[in-house]
Structure 1
Amino acid sequence: MNIYRSSTLGESFQTYAKVTINGVEISRENHIQVKIKQKLLTHNRFEILCPSEAFNEKNSYPLTNSQNLHYTYFSVHLIRFNETTAIFQGVITGVQHRVQDGYPYIILKGQSATHLMDKNINCQTFVNKTLKEIVTAVTDKYKDNRLQVLISPETTEVLPYTVCYNETDFQFLKRLAMRYGEYMYHNGEYLVFGKGNQIRTEISEGEDFQEYSLNVISKPQHFIRQRYDLRNDKVIKEESNQLYYPDQKNLFHVKSVRASEKYSIQPQSGYSAPDLFYGDAQQLERAVQRKKLSHESTILATAKTDNPRLRLGDTMQMNAWTKEKNKLQPIESYRITEIEHSFTEEGYTNHCEGIPFEQKIAPYLDENAYPHIDNQIAIVVDNNDPESLNRLKIRFYWQEEHESTLWVPLMQGHSGGGQGAHVIPEIGHVVWVDFFGHNAEAPIVLGSLYSGNQKSGFHTKNNDLKVFQTRSGTKRIVNDAEGSIKEEDAAGSFIKFEGDGNVTLNVVKNLSIKVGENMNVSVQNDKTERVNHNTYYYSENLSNSISDNKAERIGNYYYQESGNANIQTLKGSLLMRGTTLSVLQGGDDVKISKG
C-alpha cells in the first residue's frame, strides 16, 4: 500500500491534510490517508490510515499504544497556499490494526462530536418553548468544549408541547429537524441547527471541477390538509395553492417547480392529527407552508472537485463552460447536502451534492415525525380546566416533578352539549392514557386505575358490590348478594332498597319534602308515626275520613279553637265526661234539646 504524504505541507496549490491527535501532529512525519463523509442529519465519519510507527508500535504487539486513542479528540486541517481552508474535528471511536503486504497499519475511525449526543436515551418535555430554546437546552449539556453549536432555525413560533421520549439527544434534535424542515448538520467545527453561517465558495469547471450534473425531478405541488380543532369544535382546512411564495432566483428551480405544478393537477388530500389541546389558528397554515417549500426541492446538483474549501452546509457557486459562448457562465448556487472528502497519494478530491441555496426548508421534511409511544400510566396533577372541557393535566412517571402535560382530553362514557357523564378524576389519581397515532404529544385519558396505594375498599370474594363513591364519602352501593341498592351521603344519611321489598330511609338531621302540586300517600296495612317533640300542621282545609274508629290520647292539655264547630254522632250516643268539673258555656245562650 502506498500512502502519500505531501512534501509541500500545504505551501503550494496541492492540498495538505494536517492531522492532529490530542494536540500532536501525526501527518508531518508519516504518510497518511484521510476520508471524511458528511451528510445532513448524520454524524461526520472519519477514517485515517497511517503507518504503525506513528504510534511507536511497528515492531510491537498490535495496538500496544494505539488502542489508548479511544475517545480522544483529533482534528483534520485542509491547507493550501499556507492557508487553512477547512477544519474538521472529531472523536476517535475505533482503532484497527491491519497488516497489508507485510506492513502494519493503523486505521483510526472517528465521528464528529455530535456522536457524544447519541449515547443515552432521555425523556423530557418542553412547554411553551421556541425551537431555538429547545435546541439550546439540549446542547447546553455539551458546552464543555466538546461541542460548538450554531442555532438559527427558520421556525420561530412558540411550540406549546414538545416531547422527547426514549430518544438520545441527537435522535431528538434530528426528529425535530425533520418535523419542521430545519437543516441540521456538523460542518466540521460546529453543529448547525437551522440557517447556519453558510460560506460561499465559487468553483469553476476546468479549474475546480471536471465533472458535474444537474438533476431535475417533479414533486406534487398541490395538496390539502385538514385538522379537527377540539376546543372550537370545527375542522380547519388549508390548501397549498392559497399560499403565495415569491419566485425562486434559481432559474432551473423556477422552471422545475412550475412544471411540477402543471403535472400535479389533482391536489393530494391529507388529515393532520387532531389539535386536542394546543396550537393556534395559524398552526395548520404554517405546516402547509413548510410542506409546500419542502416539495419545491426539485433540483439536485452534483460535482467532483478538488477545492478544499467546500464543507457540508456551505454554498458552492458553480460556473460551467458553455461551448456556445465559449466562456464560463454561472449555473446557480447550491447548498451542499452531502460531501465526501478524500486525501490520498493522488491528492485531495471531494464528491458533493447540493440543492438550490434559496431552499429554506430541508427536503427531508416529515410532518409525521412525532415521538412514538404506547399506552401509559400517569398521575393527575390538575383537574380545574379553565375552559370547562373536563380536561386534565397529567404527569407521566418518566417526567420530572416539575413537568406535566398541557390540558389533556378525558374520555367519557357519554357526552354532549349540556348532557352526558361528568366524572373527573381527582388530583393524585392514577389514570390510563392512550395516544392518537402513538404520538407522545397527543395523549387522551381513557380512565382511572386502582393501585397498591389507592384501593376501592369494596372488594368481595364473589364480586358482589358495584360502587360509585366520591372523595367526600358519598356513595352508591349495589349489592348483588342482597339485591339491594344504597345511596348514602358523607354525613351518614341514606336510603336503602333492601332487596326484600323493604326500603329504609335514615336521615341523620333534618328531612325536607317539597311537593309542587299534589302528594298522595297510600299504605296497605298499618302506618306508625313517632315524633319525640312537637308536630305542626299548616293547611287551608283538613279533612279526615275514618271508616271505623278514631282514638286520641293526650297526656296533659287538649285545646281546640275554631270559628264554628259542629259535633254530631250519626249512629249512636254522644258522651262528654269530665273527671271533676264539666262546663258547657255559651256567650249568649245555651240550648240543650232532646230529639
Structure 2
Amino acid sequence: MFSTYTESAEDSLFSTKPLNNNSNATAIAKHYIPGIHQLVEVKFIVEGKELINYKNFELTQSTQTHHSFTVSFSSDCLGNKETYQMEEGQELLGKNLLVSIRYKHLVDKPERFFSGVIMQVSFDQDHGNEGYLILKGNSPTILLDQAPHMQSFGGTTPVSLDDIVNEILNQGYHQNRFFQSEIKLSKGIRTAYSCQYNETAYNYLARLAAMYGEQFFYDGEILHFGELPHGGKPISLIYGRDVSQVEIRMQARHVNRDFYGYNSFNDEHLHAETETDLDVKGTLAKSSYARSKEIFKAPSLQQAPLKASTDQDVLYAQRGAIGSEGIQVFVTTGVTTIPFLYPGCVVELNMLHPNKKVSRHFTTLVITDIEHTVDALGQYTGKFKAVDAQTGYIPQAFFTMPITEQQIGIVVSNDDPEGKGRVQVQFNWQDASQQTDFIRVMSGDAGSSTAVKRNRGMVFIPEKGDQVMVGFVNNHPDRPFVLGSLFHGGTAAGGGPNNQIKSIQTRSGHTLKFTEEESIEIFDASGNCIVLDTTGKSITVFAPENILLTAKNIQFQASDNISATAGENIVLQAEHDIEQTAGSGFSLTAKDSYTQISARTSLETKEYFVTSKVGRIEATADNLQLSSSFEVEVLSTKKVKMF
C-alpha cells in the first residue's frame, strides 16, 4: 500500500525535546551556491509510511490562525491506482501528515518539518486522465477549533494559567502523541475563576493569551503559549540573492491604549501604573512607532478584557494589546527561495550594496506569515510577512469575544469565607466539580451611610439550593453576579385568580404576608403573630407564651376604652408610685381583696360608704380613733357593744 519510509523523521520531530533550529541557519549558509537556487525534496509521511509521486504542494502558515495545506498526488501514490471509490485513500482522513522539506542531493542538508491533520480527501479526474488524489488539511490546532464548548476552571480555589492551558491541550491536542506544545509563561498568573463559554478551545486559548499579554501560535512543529521563543540562530536572508520583491512598509497604528478595571472586593479602581510603551529596536520600526503615537491623539479608554484583581492584571492586558498593535507599525513582505522559514522564525534581512558584491545588515525580523509552494520538480517559492523581532510580541491570534447572556444557576454555597454576603453558583452546564468563585448578589438597595458602615439597604442572601438568575458584568464570562432568585415548579405557589397574597418568608418560616383583603401579617414558626387589619382598623398581637414590652417610658392611650384581661393573675408593680385616676367612677370587683400598706394609708373623699355582710376594724398596735367635725353615729339594728 505505502512505500516504506524510515521513522527517524517522526522520532526526531516528535521527541520529548523541541527541535533545535540552530542547525538550519548554519546549514543553509553552508550549502549556498552562488547563482543557483537549490531544488527542494518534499516527503509526505502518514503513520511512518511515505506517499509518493506528489504533483504540487502548498502550505500556508500564520501566527494568527490555523495553517492549511493542499497536496496533489498521482493516482498511484498509495501503491495501487486510486479511483473515485478511494478504496485506500479514504483511510487517510483524520490521519497525521508529516511533511519533510529539505534540499535535494546534499549531505548534511538543512531540514524542516511540518505536522498537520488531513481534513479532506478527494479524487479529481477529468478528460479521461487517471486522476489525482488530493489531500487538504490544517495544523493540529484545528482539532481545538471545530465545535464550541463550555467549561470552567477555578471557583473553589484559584487556578494558574499554566494549569488551564495544559488541561485544554490535554483534552483535544495532546491526545495525539505526535503533537508537541511548549508552555512557557512570562508571568506567574493565577485567577479565581475562568470560563470557556460557548467557544472553541482554540478561541479560548487565543483569548487567554490576549488577556494576559502572552503569545499563542503554532510554528509548524510546536504549539507555543507564553513567551515568544528565541528561535535559535537567525537565518540570514539577502535581498537580491535569497529574497526578491521586497516591500518595506511603515504604517500608522493607534498604539495609545489605556485599560481600566475594578476590584469589587476591595472597592478599588484599577489601572496600569507603569509605562506600557512597546520597546521597539529597529530603526524604521522605532520611527514608525513614534510617529503613530503622534498621529493618533484621540484617547482610547477600554475596559480591560479580563477580570482584573490588581493593577498588574490591567498592565498585562494593556501591554499585550499595545504589543500586538504596535508590532504592526513596521511590516516587511517578500518572496524567498529559502524553504525553511516558519512562523516565529527569526531572520536577518541583509541588503546587497548596489555597486558592490557585499551585503549589509538591514533589520532583524520574525516571520508571522509564510506561503510555501513546491512543484513536482522541487522548484520552491515562498512568500513571507515579517515584523520587528526584538519586541517579544507578534500579532495576536484571531479570536471572537463570547457574549455571555443571562442564565440560570443553583447556589451551592453561601458561606462566604470573607463574610461579604457572596455566594457560589453552579450553572446547568457545569459538572459536579465546577462552580463559580464567590460572586456578589444584586440588591434593590445596598451601600453604607454615616451611621451604618455595612449592609445598609436590603440584605437577602440566597439559600443553598436556591435557583438564581445570573448576569455578567460587561457580558464577560469570568464576571458573573446574581441578579435575583427564581421559583420553579417544586418551590412555587400563589398567584391565583385575584393574586391576593404577597409575602416574604425566611428559611425557618418567619413570614411577612400582605393580603389584598387589606391585612398585614407577621408571624413565625412558633406561632407568634402580629396582624394589622386594615378593614377592621385594628392590630392583633398574639404569642403562645409571653409578650414583653421594655422601654424607658410606656404609655397606653385610647380615645375610648382600654381593657386588660388575664386567665390567671394581673400584677402591677412599681419601684415608686402607682397612680390611678378616673374622671368619673372607679369600680373594683373581686372575690377577695387584700391590701397591705407598710407605712400609711390616706383616703380622702366627699362621701365614704363601706358595706359588708361581716366586718371588722382593728388596730393591733395602738389606739383606734374615730373622729368627726360633727357627730359620730354608731348604729345597729340590734345591740351596740362598746367593749
How high is the TM-score relative to the length of structure 2?
0.83
Cα 1:60–1:392 change in 2 (3 A) is: closer
5 Å-filtered alignment, 1:173-572, equals 173-194=205-226, 195-196=228-229, 198-199=231-232, 200-238=234-272, 243=275, 247-264=279-296, 266=297, 268-272=299-303, 279-297=309-327, 298-323=329-354, 327-345=358-376, 347-364=379-396, 370-417=401-448, 418=452, 419-455=456-492, 457-480=493-516, 482-499=517-534, 500-522=536-558, 524-525=560-561, 527-533=563-569, 535-556=571-592, 558-571=594-607
Instruction: Give the drift of 1:402.
Output: 2.2
Q: Give the unaligned 5+ runs of structure 1.
A: 1-9
Aligned to 2:51: 26
CA-to-partner distance for each residue in 1:51-80, whole Å, 9 max, x for gaps? 112235548454233223211222111121
Residue 472 of structure 1 and its aligned partner are, at CA, apart by: 1.1
3-state DSSP class of the match of 1:390?
A: coil
The alignment partner of 2:76 has SS state of helix
Query: In the alignment, what sits opposite 1:107?
Result: 134
> Which sits farther off after the overlay, 210-219 or 541-550?
541-550
Residues 273 and 436 in structure 1, CA contact (< 8 A), matched pair in contact too: no
Cα distance in 2 for partners of 1:383, 1:101 equals: 73
Aligned residue type for 1:494: C
SS at match of 2:478: coil
| TM-aligned CA deviation for residue 473 of structure 1 | 0.7
Whichever residue aligns with residue 209 of structure 2, its letter is A
What is the rounded CA distance, in whole Å, between the counterparts of 2:611 and 2:356 in structure 1? 144
Q: Aligned equivalents of 1:365 and 1:50: distance in 2?
A: 32
User: 2:148 touches 2:200 (CA, 8 Å); kept in 1?
Assistant: yes
1:69 equivalent in structure 2: 92
Give distance in 2, aligned partners of 1:111 and 1:13. Answer: 27
CA distance in 1, matches of 2:540, 2:325: 74
CA 1:387–1:370: 2 relative to 1, 3 Å: farther
2:512 and 2:189 map into 1 onto residues whose CA distance is 50
Q: Please tell me the residue identity of whatever aligns with 1:218.
A: A
The amino acid of 2:260's aligned partner reads: Q
Partner residue, 1:591 = 625
Per the TM alignment, residue 427 of structure 1 is displaced from its structure 2 partner at its CA by 1.5
Find the aligned partners of 1:271 and 1:354 in 2 and give their Cα distance. 28
Q: Aligned partners of 1:303 and 1:106: how far apart in 2?
A: 31
The alpha-carbon distance between structure 1 residues 243 and 471, as it changes in their structure 2 partners (threshold 3 A), is: same
Q: Distance in 2 between matches of 1:246 and 1:501?
A: 76
CA contact (8 A) 1:77 1:84 kept: no
* Correspondence for 2:159 among 113, 129, 133: 129
Residue identity over aligned pairs, in percent, reads: 25
What is the distance in 1 between the residues matched to 2:276 and 2:540?
74
SS of aligned partner of 1:171: helix
Give the AA of the match of 2:247.
S
SS in 1 for 2:288: helix
For residues 325 and 464 of structure 2, what CA distance do their matches in structure 1 show? 46
Q: Which residue of 1 aligns with 2:77?
A: 54
Amino acid corresponding to residue 280 of structure 1 in structure 2? T
Aligned residue pair count: 575
TM superposition shift of 1:443: 1.6
Aligned mates of 1:157, 1:489 — CA distance in 2:
50
For normalisation by structure 1, the TM-score amounts to 0.89
Q: What is the deviation of 1:435?
A: 1.5
CA displacement at 1:426 relative to structure 2: 1.2
DSSP 3-state at the match of 1:32: strand
Q: Is the 8 A contact 1:379 1:428 kept in 2?
A: yes
SS at match of 1:53: coil
Are 1:181 and 1:364, in contact at CA under 8 Å, matched by a contact in 2?
no
Rounded Cα–Cα distance in structure 2 between residues aligned with 1:68 and 1:318: 43
- Contact 2:263/2:308, CA 8 A, preserved across alignment: no
Q: Pick closer, same or farther for the CA change 1:278–1:45 going to 2, 3 Å.
A: closer
Distance in 1 between the 2:259 and 2:84 partners? 64
- Offset, 1:192: 1.8
What SS does the corresponding residue of 1:55 show, helix, strand or coil?
A: coil
5+ residue gaps, structure 2, are 1-27, 32-36, 631-643
Q: Does the aligned pair in 2 maintain the 1:114–1:186 contact within 8 Å?
A: yes
What residue in structure 2 maps to residue 3 of structure 1? none
Query: What is the deviation of 1:534?
Result: 5.5
> Which residue is 1:98 aligned to?
124
Q: Please state whether the residue corresponding to 2:142 is helix, strand or coil.
A: helix
SS, match of residue 343 in structure 2: coil
1:315-340 deviations in Å (ceiling 9; x for gaps): 12211212166521112221111111
Change (3 A) 1:67 1:287: closer
Partner AA of 1:230 in structure 2:
S
Name the CA shift for 1:60/1:410 in 2 (closer, same or farther; >3 Å).
Answer: closer
3-state DSSP of counterpart to 1:54: coil
Deviates more, 1:282-291 or 1:105-114: 282-291
> Are the equivalent residues in 1 in contact too, given 2:82–2:89 (CA < 8 A)?
no
Q: Displacement, 1:237? A: 4.3
Contact 2:83–2:123 under 8 Å retained in 1: no
Superposed CA offset, 1:439-459 (max 9, x none):
11122211110012322x444
- Is the 8 Å Cα contact of residues 230 and 274 (structure 1) preserved in structure 2? no
Q: Distance in 1 between matches of 2:82 and 2:462?
A: 74
Q: Give a deviation string over 1:283-337, Cα, whole Å, max 9, x none.
A: 2233333333333211111121121221122112211212166521112221111
Q: Is the 8 A contact 1:36 1:340 kept in 2?
A: yes
Q: Deviations over 1:205-255 (max 9, x none)?
A: 23322332211112233343333443343544447xx51668533222222
Taking the aligned partners of 1:60 and 1:562, their CA distance within structure 2 comes to: 127
Aligned counterparts of 1:84 and 1:324: Cα–Cα separation in 2: 31
Give the aligned CA root-mean-square deviation in angstroms.
2.8
Partner SS, residue 296 of structure 1: helix
Structure 1 runs of 4+ with >6 Å offset: none
Aligned to 1:6: none
Conserved in 2, the CA contact under 8 Å of 1:380 and 1:425?
yes
Take 1:430 and 1:138, find their aligned partners in 2: how far apart are those partners?
30
Paired residue secondary structure (1:255): helix
Aligned partners of 1:475 and 1:61: how far apart in 2? 77
CA distance in 1, matches of 2:244, 2:304: 48
Is the 1:151–1:196 Cα contact (8 Å) retained in structure 2? no
Deviation of 1:31 (Å)? 4.3
SS, match of residue 77 in structure 2:
helix
SS in 2 for 1:476: strand
